[in-house]
Structure 1
């Protein structure tokens, strides 16, 4: 029959080795970052170190701008660093806790007593196999949050990209309008001096020129501000490094047709997937809480003492908490409340996702229809009117100022067409975010960028 010493040592070894197979290990540096970036559309080629410089060497597209943000935005890099810290903390939570070791030396006259003890929390060891999946689930949530931030930044970059090109196109067109207005003003002055037109007509042309000059200055300021917003998202210190197209892409021949937009949003949106993961984690936590409802403290100590010339004293001490005042009801009630909250969060997220997807698709369809209307109806009609007015002017059937008045109407129609085209590309980006993005609505291009890490359950 084994001795009490052998039994206690065997028990201690068994408890120390319980759950060793559940210990997690840190991933390679940068692997999680690359996995998240790949999931948000960055290719393996883009992950190489010089890729940002290569992309900035030529005129960038909308998708390339988003790639530069994902690779170069300082706020996102900080988020990835914090994700690495979270991973280290969660891995540590799955490791076997260090044993407690104590040494005591007591004297009484000429007598001396020396004691050694080593102990460990049995509850932590026995529940380690159940706690490890929860820890991993929490880290998965943290990783999903980092992915959400990455997707949101890419979305903001696409909006800022469209806004910058539109502002540049409007600035350039405003310069052309200003040049034409200046010519009309000078002509009106000459005719007024010669007495061929009234001072009222000359004043109208002067007023149009003055308004065109003011608008041109506003266009410059708005373009510089839009370019600065884009530079901040791209993580660039100088706007001169950005090369953009001169104009927005043309309207596609047909609008996008999404068969089941609501289902796509429920399957692909990160906020929906994150809410589901939180729910699964809450279910696991509730089960663990019920397991430890009555006993959640159980200590095992192995102790040995020596006393002068007496035989060595050794043995095992087991301690546990007596549930006199709290039978685990409070912890169980709290876990059940979190469970109900998680169910409500999943339902709320699903409702919001479906509604936002429908709203975004309706806005996209309306923007496409309006832009096509300006492209196919308004602008060609104004062009036709301009040609007819030119013929009448050449035949001296109308005055110069009738021709100039019609030119102002054509300017207004062209500006409205550019605005409608810009609105279409904005709505196209919003639609992508509502169906395949991070959810929670879409930020405007000038809104503050996401640079921090949101709170994560378990931290």
Structure 2
């Protein structure tokens, strides 16, 4: 219900509204937002993150993508290719822009409502004009703008987290694709060696120089190698296609995609634990997200408590009455205040729900802080163990396997072992190389996961259980 309190000029209400508009409101600039993401996550984006909003910018991005595809794409180039070419990355930026715009909109009060009324009674004509707006919204405008700024900040941090997640996904997809391709190469060598031994065994059995069980053993090796080659071929195709999806390549671009023949060399030394601890916690995204969420609830609690009780609407009016019979007119000016009375609903459940959400946000923040250290320790342990295993293969196992292979070659040349023993040793040597490739893959996956964990986006990178290297083959 409304009650007229006094007569004031209509222009007073308009002046109040004008002052509220001039008080300022939250705004966004997507270009500045993207620049900030590049600055905060430079180790992931290398400053290459951008949103193409025009045809010229899209054409420029496509030209850059094509230039990257003209040569084998290394890991950092794969990340750049995804940043400039992937539609999913562009969709992520556009969605964040929309969320930030909605957040900025929430910091503005609703537009006033203008109403016009025309009434005729006999010779009298009455014209009523009213301008209404939420008085509580006007009073709470500073809090609304502050809340909008926090929501914009939340959207910004969330965008940074999503970008880090996608870049980490691209890095790991590249590692798997290169490792799968490298493994396929050696699987083909195992298959070719097994095929040769199976064919030789069959011919030797035909002339009576080989028994049936020995020939069947060589044939079984060949059959197993064929199965493993087929599986390796599919894994290579699947890993490559996953990388293509992560990079956002179309069919024409996918045909031009070339990746290196082998994984990068291991770093001479792993990241030092002290350096790791120094880098940690400096700018963790997960903690910032949880803290922003808690601050948003905590600082908005005051205005939410008031709005759960009541709402106030201020209306400025001007009524003009014309008497045609007497040829006179009169005007009445004033304002009304409409107050929602908390009779049926005192807003208790709304306040309880808001208190519960604030409490949940506080506990979520504490949970993230407590888990951060544990995630970092686990991530570093995975990284360090993966490095030690891969280096062990590179420094110890592979050189030993080469020594064994060289000695078997000398024994074969001296007619101390036969061709089947020599080919069996060759198969074992290739199997060891494949195991070493898998160890290097585990390291580079763990490296990408550790980099993500440092910035506060823990990524699963468990070490796959692997068998020991095959032993040297003796005579049959």
TM-score range, shorter chain: 0.7 to 0.9
SS in structure 2 opposite 1:98?
coil
Measure, in 1, the Cα distance between the counterparts of 2:123 and 2:21: 46
Q: Aligned to 2:412, which of 393, 397, 401? A: 393
1:273-284 correspondence runs (5 A): 273-284=288-299
Q: Does 1:22 align with 2:24?
A: yes
> 1:363 Cα deviation (Å)?
1.2
Q: Aligned to 1:427, which of 446, 458, 461? A: 446
Gaps of 5+ in 1: 445-459
Do the aligned partners of 1:151 and 1:437 also contact (CA within 8 Å) in 2?
A: no
> 1:67 Cα deviation (Å)?
1.9
Do the aligned partners of 2:127 and 2:320 also contact (CA within 8 Å) in 1?
A: yes
Measure, in 2, the Cα distance between the counterparts of 1:383 and 1:334: 69
1:413-452 correspondence runs (5 A): 413-439=432-458, 441-442=459-460
Alignment correspondent of 1:403: 422
Alignment correspondent of 1:455: none
> 1:5 Cα deviation (Å)?
5.8
Measure, in 2, the Cα distance between the counterparts of 1:428 and 1:59: 21
> 1:190 Cα deviation (Å)?
3.0
Measure, in 1, the Cα distance between the counterparts of 2:98 and 2:49: 25
Measure, in 1, the Cα distance between the counterparts of 2:7 and 2:302: 36
Q: After alignment, is 171-180 or 229-238 more displaced?
A: 171-180
**1:8-60: CA deviations, max 9, x gaps?**
63354134312523223442x64434543454333456756332222222222
TM-score by length of 2: 0.85
Q: After alignment, is 311-320 or 38-47 more displaced?
A: 38-47
SS in structure 1 opposite 2:316?
strand
Measure, in 1, the Cα distance between the counterparts of 2:12 and 2:100: 34
Structure 1's 267 and 276: CA in aligned 2 closer, same or farther, altered over 3 A?
A: farther
> 1:86 Cα deviation (Å)?
2.4
Alignment correspondent of 1:448: none
Do the aligned partners of 1:113 and 1:306 also contact (CA within 8 Å) in 2?
A: yes
Q: After alignment, is 220-229 or 190-199 more displaced?
A: 190-199
Q: After alignment, is 277-286 or 77-86 more displaced?
A: 77-86
SS in structure 2 opposite 1:442?
coil
Measure, in 2, the Cα distance between the counterparts of 1:322 and 1:377: 82
Q: Does 1:323 align with 2:325?
A: no
**1:154-189: CA deviations, max 9, x gaps?**
111111100000110011111222222222223223
Structure 1's 300 and 136: CA in aligned 2 closer, same or farther, altered over 3 A?
A: same
Measure, in 1, the Cα distance between the counterparts of 2:274 and 2:198: 55
Alignment correspondent of 1:457: none
Gaps of 5+ in 2: 1-5, 51-59, 463-476
Structure 1's 443 and 97: CA in aligned 2 closer, same or farther, altered over 3 A?
A: farther
Structure 1's 262 and 302: CA in aligned 2 closer, same or farther, altered over 3 A?
A: farther
TM-score by length of 1: 0.87
Do the aligned partners of 2:104 and 2:152 also contact (CA within 8 Å) in 1?
A: no
Q: Aligned to 1:248, which of 263, 286, 305? A: 263
Q: Does 1:13 align with 2:15?
A: yes
Measure, in 2, the Cα distance between the counterparts of 1:180 and 1:23: 73
SS in structure 2 opposite 1:306?
strand
SS in structure 2 opposite 1:288?
helix
Q: After alignment, is 158-167 or 169-178 more displaced?
A: 169-178
Measure, in 2, the Cα distance between the counterparts of 1:282 and 1:46: 31
1:32-47 correspondence runs (5 A): 32-37=33-38, 39-41=40-42, 42-44=45-47
> 1:84 Cα deviation (Å)?
2.3
Measure, in 2, the Cα distance between the counterparts of 1:33 and 1:217: 44
> 1:295 Cα deviation (Å)?
4.4
**1:71-109: CA deviations, max 9, x gaps?**
222122222222222233233333343221111112233
Do the aligned partners of 1:105 and 1:113 also contact (CA within 8 Å) in 2?
A: yes
Do the aligned partners of 1:166 and 1:422 also contact (CA within 8 Å) in 2?
A: yes
Do the aligned partners of 1:96 and 1:128 also contact (CA within 8 Å) in 2?
A: yes
Do the aligned partners of 1:76 and 1:149 also contact (CA within 8 Å) in 2?
A: no
Do the aligned partners of 2:191 and 2:229 also contact (CA within 8 Å) in 1?
A: yes
Structure 1's 265 and 288: CA in aligned 2 closer, same or farther, altered over 3 A?
A: farther
Do the aligned partners of 2:34 and 2:49 also contact (CA within 8 Å) in 1?
A: no
Q: Number of residue pairs matched?
A: 439
Measure, in 2, the Cα distance between the counterparts of 1:404 and 1:30: 62
Do the aligned partners of 2:132 and 2:316 also contact (CA within 8 Å) in 1?
A: yes
SS in structure 2 opposite 1:252?
coil
**1:417-439: CA deviations, max 9, x gaps?**
11111111111111112222534
> 1:341 Cα deviation (Å)?
1.0
> 1:230 Cα deviation (Å)?
0.4
> 1:287 Cα deviation (Å)?
2.9
SS in structure 2 opposite 1:267?
coil
Q: Aligned to 1:337, which of 349, 356, 360? A: 356
Q: Does 1:151 align with 2:160?
A: no
Do the aligned partners of 2:143 and 2:300 also contact (CA within 8 Å) in 1?
A: no
SS in structure 2 opposite 1:246?
coil
